[in-house]
């Protein structure tokens, strides 16, 4: 079917409208301006590293240690300030998410994604598994953890026992023992924030590392890990894209986004005018 000039122009304008916002380059700065646990998804920007399913994850950030054992004598403090030995809590399959609480976007997204996955698991919290959010920032305190926990338990369904999700803080030595134990790396920036991957590990009741889950933490992947942890059988991880979270300040880019909005609007107006003009000429 032959297109009229107006229809062709409309298609071009439509493609430009979609291309324009995507062509903007956003700065990758990590700004910790919000309260711990503040979920600000509008300012979230992902950067993907690693390879697609079936290929290797970037070992510089996550070195999978499936089948090895996590030291369980390490002690942390929970959100109530109570000293907690890992082995006293990891007495059944446990989801271990390394994050830090005073993070404006990436960690809040990770925690929100995990909460969403927990709501969709076929297994039952408490009876089948437990959850740990472990801060790798040794400057954070139980008070910080408590504020973060209050935000994220709100996302859980009512039957989820909040006591089965611990938010832990600890010393630099304790943190390093655990993150090295699961092969998880992070890098502190000059402004006190961290670059880190979005990854969690599922640990068996004896501390054995069973499975890694990456990216948005799909419930199906976690369910498989919990099932394998109950059987004591390490399993291969699905090699999804390894995500890094670089956050940006919308205030610095506000004028750019406003300009894009105006351009897109003008493109659509021009396209509609040309289509109407072409349609009237055709009727004549």
Rounded to whole angstroms, the Cα distance separating 270 from 277 reads 11
**Residues forming a β-bridge with 209:** 203
Structure tokens at 209: 């590392």
What is the spatial distance between Cα 246 and Cα 253, in angstroms, rounded to a whole number? 15
107 assigned ligand-binding residue:
yes
Q: In DSSP terms, which residues pair with 43 in a beta bridge?
A: none
Bridge partners for 9 per DSSP: none
Annotated binding residue at 245?
A: no
DSSP-derived 3-state class of residue 87:
helix
- Any idea which residue has 């139980």 for tokens? 142
SS3 46: strand
Query: How far apart, in whole angstroms, are the C-alpha atoms of residue 20 and residue 9?
Result: 16
- C-alpha triplet 20, 23, 28: angle, nearest 5°: 135
Q: Distance between CA atoms of 140 and 101, rounded to whole angstroms?
A: 8
Give the E-state strand segments of 19-139 in sequence order: 46-49, 75-77, 83-85, 94-99, 130-135
Closest CA to 46 of 192, 197, 155, 185: 197
Q: Coil, strand or helix: which one is 212?
A: strand
Find the radius of gyration of the CA atoms of the chain: 23
Known binding-site positions: 103, 107, 196
Known binding-site positions for Cu cation: 103, 107, 196
């Amino acid at each position: 079917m032959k297109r009229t000039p107006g229809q062709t122009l409309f298609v071009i304008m439509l493609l430009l409208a979609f291309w324009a916002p995507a062509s903007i380059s956003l700065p990758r700065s990590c700004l910790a301006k919000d309260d711990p646990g503040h979920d600000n998804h509008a300012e979230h920007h992902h950067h993907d590293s690693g390879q697609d399913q079936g290929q290797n994850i970037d070992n510089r950030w996550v070195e999978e240690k499936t089948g090895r054992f996590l030291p369980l004598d390490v002690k942390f403090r929970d959100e109530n300030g109570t000293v907690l030995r890992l082995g006293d809590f990891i007495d059944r399959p446990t989801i271990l998410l390394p994050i830090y609480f005073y993070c404006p976007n990436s960690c809040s997204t990770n925690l929100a994604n995990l909460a969403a996955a927990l709501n969709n698991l076929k297994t039952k919290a408490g009876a089948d598994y437990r959850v740990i959010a472990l801060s790798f920032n040794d400057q954070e305190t139980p008070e910080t953890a408590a504020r973060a926990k209050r935000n994220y338990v709100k996302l859980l369904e009512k039957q989820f026992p909040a006591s089965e999700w611990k938010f832990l803080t600890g010393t630099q030595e304790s943190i390093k023992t655990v993150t090295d134990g699961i092969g998880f790396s992070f890098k502190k920036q000059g402004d006190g924030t961290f670059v880190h991957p979005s990854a969690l590990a599922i640990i068996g009741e004896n501390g054995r590392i069973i499975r890694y889950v990456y990216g948005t933490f799909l419930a199906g992947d976690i369910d498989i890990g919990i099932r394998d942890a109950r059987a004591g059988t390490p399993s291969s991880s699905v090699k999804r894209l390894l995500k890094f979270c670089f956050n940006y300040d919308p205030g610095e880019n506000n004028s750019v986004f406003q300009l894009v909005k105006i351009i897109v609007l003008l493109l659509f107006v021009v396209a509609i005018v040309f289509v109407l003009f072409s349609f009237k000429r055709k009727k004549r």
